Amino acid sequence: MKLVSSMENFNPAQFFLHLSAVLVLVGLHLVPVSTANQQVTPSIKTDAVSLLNFKKMIDKDPNGVLSGWKLGTSPCSWYGVTCSMNRATQLDLTSCSLVGTISFEPLAFLDMLSVLNLPSNKFSVNATSLLQLPYALKQLDLSFNALFGVLPEGVSSKCPNLVSVNLAFNNLTGPPPKDLLLHSDKLQTLDISYNNLTGSISGLIIEKYSCPSLLQLDLSGNRITGSIPMSLANCTSLKTMSLSTNNVTGEIPRSFGQLRSLQRLDLSHNQITGWMPPELGNACGSLAELKLSFNNITGPIPASFSSCSLLEALDLSNNNLTGPLPDSIFQNLTSLQSLVLRNNIITGSLPGSISACRSLQVIDLSSNKISGVIPPDICPGASSLEELRMPDNLIVGEIPAQLSQCSQLKTIDFSLNYLNGSIPAELGKLENLQQLIAWYNGLEGKIPPDLGKCKSLKDIILNNNHLSGEIPVELFSCSNLEWISLTSNKLSGEVPREFGLLTRLAVLQLGNNSLSGKIPGELGNCSSLVWLDLNSNKLTGEIPPRLGRQTGAKALSGILSGNTLVFVRNVGNSCKGVGGLLEFAGIRPERLQQDPTLRTCDFARLYSGPVLSLFTKYQTLEYLDLSYNQLRGKIPEEMGDMIALQVLELSHNQLSGEIPASLGQLKDLGVFDASHNRLQGHIPDSLENLSFLVQIDLSNNELTGEIPSRGQLSTLPATQYANNPGLCGVPLPDCQSSNNQPDTTPSDQDEGKRSRRPSVASWANSIVVGVLISLASVCVLVVWAIAMRTRRKEAKEVKMLNRLQASHAAWKIDKEKEPLSINVATFQRQLRKLKFSQLIEATNGFSADSLIGCGGFGEVFKATLKDGSSVAIKKLIRLSCQGDREFMAEMETLGKIKHRNLVPLLGYCKIGEERLLVYEFMEYGSLEEMLHGRTKTRDRRMLTWEERKKIARGAAKGLCFLHHNCIPHIIHRDMKSSNVLLDSELEARVSDFGMARLISALDTHLSVSTLAGTPGYVPPEYYQSFRCTAKGDVYSFGVVLLELVTGKRPTDKDDFGDTNLVGWAKMKVREGKQMEVIDQELLSVSKGTDEAEAEEVKEMVRYLEVTLQCVDDFPSKRPNMLQVVAMLRQLISGSACGSSNSA
Dump pLDDT digits (tens) for 254-265.
999 889 999 999
What is the distance, to the nearest Å, from the Cα of residue 1024 to the centroid of all Cα atoms in its chain? 11
Average pLDDT over residues 441-447: 96
User: Does the structure show a pLDDT above 80 at 599?
Assistant: no
Task: With cut-offs at 50, 70 and 90, classify the pLDDT of residue 51.
Answer: very high
Secondary structure in 3-state letters for 920-976? ECCCCCEHHHHHHCCCCCCCCCCCCHHHHHHHHHHHHHHHHHHHHCCCCCCCCCCCC
User: Does the structure show a pLDDT above 80 at 1086?
Assistant: no
User: Tell me, what amino acid is at 777?
Assistant: S
User: Does the structure show a pLDDT above 50 at 26?
Assistant: no
Q: How far apart are CA 484 and CA 507, in angstroms?
A: 6
CB 51 within 8 A of CB 77: no
Q: Where does residue 835 rank: exposed (0-12), middle (13-18), buried (19+ CB within 10 A)?
A: middle
pLDDT tens digits along 223-249: 999 999 999 999 999 999 999 999 999
CB 848 within 8 A of CB 864: no
User: Does the structure show a pLDDT above 70 at 508?
Assistant: yes
pLDDT at 884: 63
Average pLDDT over residues 180-192: 90
3 state DSSP class of 239: coil
Task: With cut-offs at 50, 70 and 90, classify the pLDDT of residue 267.
Answer: very high
Highest mean pLDDT, choosing among 68-77, 745-754, 910-919: 68-77
Q: Which carries the bigger pLDDT value, residue 608 or residue 893? A: 893
State how far the alpha carbon of 211 is from the alpha carbons of 214, 215, 226, 421, 709, in Å: 6, 9, 21, 60, 80
To 10 degrees, what angle do helices 12-30 and 44-56 make?
60
User: Tell me, what amino acid is at 338?
Assistant: S
State how far the alpha carbon of 573 is from the alpha carbons of 244, 358, 840, in Å: 47, 51, 40
Instruction: Find the helix or strand (DSSP H, E) in which 216 lies.
Output: strand 216-218
User: Could you say which of 392, 974, 1033, 1112 is catalytic?
Assistant: 974
Average pLDDT over residues 919-933: 87
Residue (of 1079, 1015, 1010, 1014) closest to 1041 by Cα position: 1079
Among the residue ranges 205-214, 339-348, 544-553, 620-629, the one predicted with the least confidence is 544-553
CB 490 within 8 A of CB 512: no
Q: How far apart are CA 784 and CA 331, in angstroms?
A: 103
State how far the alpha carbon of 533 is from the alpha carbons of 487, 564, 691, in Å: 8, 19, 25
Q: How far apart are CA 1025 and CA 590, in angstroms?
A: 22
3 state DSSP class of 914: strand
User: Does the structure show a pLDDT above 60 at 877?
Assistant: yes
Dihedral sign for Cα atoms in the order 856, 858, 862, 865 = negative
176 phi-psi bin (left φ>0, alpha ψ -120 to 50, beta other) = beta
Average pLDDT, the chain: 81
Question: Most distant CA pair in the chain: distance in Å?
Answer: 155
Residues 6+ apart with CB under 8 A from 1137: 956, 957, 958, 960, 961, 964, 965, 1121, 1122, 1125
State how far the alpha carbon of 79 is from the alpha carbons of 89, 106, 132, 137, 286, in Å: 13, 18, 23, 20, 42
To 10 degrees, what angle do helices 1030-1046 and 945-964 make?
170
pLDDT at 1003: 42
Q: Which carries the bigger pLDDT value, residue 576 or residue 122? A: 122
Task: With cut-offs at 50, 70 and 90, classify the pLDDT of residue 1005.
Answer: very low
Beta bridge partners of 870: 864
Dihedral sign for Cα atoms in the order 688, 694, 696, 697 = positive
Dihedral sign for Cα atoms in the order 661, 666, 669, 674 = negative
State how far the alpha carbon of 213 is from the alpha carbons of 279, 357, 680, 950, in Å: 23, 34, 86, 57
Neighbours of 775 (CB within 10 A): 10
Cα torsion for 184, 188, 193, 195, to the nearest 10°? -30
CB 247 within 8 A of CB 222: no
Q: Where does residue 382 rank: exposed (0-12), middle (13-18), buried (19+ CB within 10 A)?
A: buried
Q: How far apart are CA 956 and CA 1041, in angstroms?
A: 9
Q: Where does residue 766 rank: exposed (0-12), middle (13-18), buried (19+ CB within 10 A)?
A: exposed
Q: Which carries the bigger pLDDT value, residue 1095 or residue 406? A: 406
Neighbours of 988 (CB within 10 A): 26
CB 368 within 8 A of CB 342: yes
CB 1110 within 8 A of CB 1041: yes
Cα torsion for 100, 104, 107, 108, to the nearest 10°? -170
Of how many residues is the chain composed? 1143
Instruction: Please state the residue numbers annotated as binding site for ATP.
Output: 875
Residues 6+ apart with CB under 8 A from 395: 370, 371, 372, 373, 374, 414, 417, 418, 419
pLDDT at 136: 93
User: Does the structure show a pLDDT above 50 at 751?
Assistant: no
Average pLDDT over residues 985-1009: 62
User: Does the structure show a pLDDT above 70 at 828?
Assistant: no
Q: Where does residue 1017 rank: exposed (0-12), middle (13-18), buried (19+ CB within 10 A)?
A: buried
Instruction: Find the helix or strand (DSSP H, E) in which 1095 lies.
Output: helix 1090-1110
CB 956 within 8 A of CB 1037: yes
Q: How far apart are CA 583 and CA 602, in angstroms?
A: 19
Average pLDDT over residues 411-430: 95
User: Does the structure show a pLDDT above 70 at 517?
Assistant: yes
CB 214 within 8 A of CB 184: yes
pTM of the model: 0.68
State how far the alpha carbon of 1023 is from the alpha carbons of 567, 578, 608, 857, 862, in Å: 9, 15, 7, 21, 35
* Beta pairing, strands 565-570 & 623-625: unpaired
What is the distance, to the nearest Å, from the Cα of residue 997 to the centroid of all Cα atoms in its chain? 22
Q: How far apart are CA 572 and CA 122, in angstroms?
A: 56
Q: How far apart are CA 627 and CA 46, in angstroms?
A: 84
Average pLDDT over residues 990-994: 82
Domain 819-1131: CATH class, spelled out: mainly alpha
User: Does the structure show a pLDDT above 60 at 370?
Assistant: yes
Q: How far apart are CA 703 and CA 725, in angstroms?
A: 7
Q: Where are the domains of the chain?
A: 819-1131
pLDDT at 3: 37
Is 377 annotated as catalytic? no
User: Tell me, what amino acid is at 136?
Assistant: A
Average pLDDT over residues 1063-1092: 78
3 state DSSP class of 687: helix
Task: With cut-offs at 50, 70 and 90, classify the pLDDT of residue 699.
Answer: very high
Instruction: Please state the residue numbers annotated as binding site.
Output: 875
Instruction: Find the helix or strand (DSSP H, E) in which 909 lies.
Output: strand 905-911
Q: How far apart are CA 746 and CA 1032, in angstroms?
A: 67
Beta bridge partners of 509: 485, 533
Task: With cut-offs at 50, 70 and 90, classify the pLDDT of residue 285.
Answer: confident
Task: With cut-offs at 50, 70 and 90, classify the pLDDT of residue 813.
Answer: low
pLDDT at 561: 59
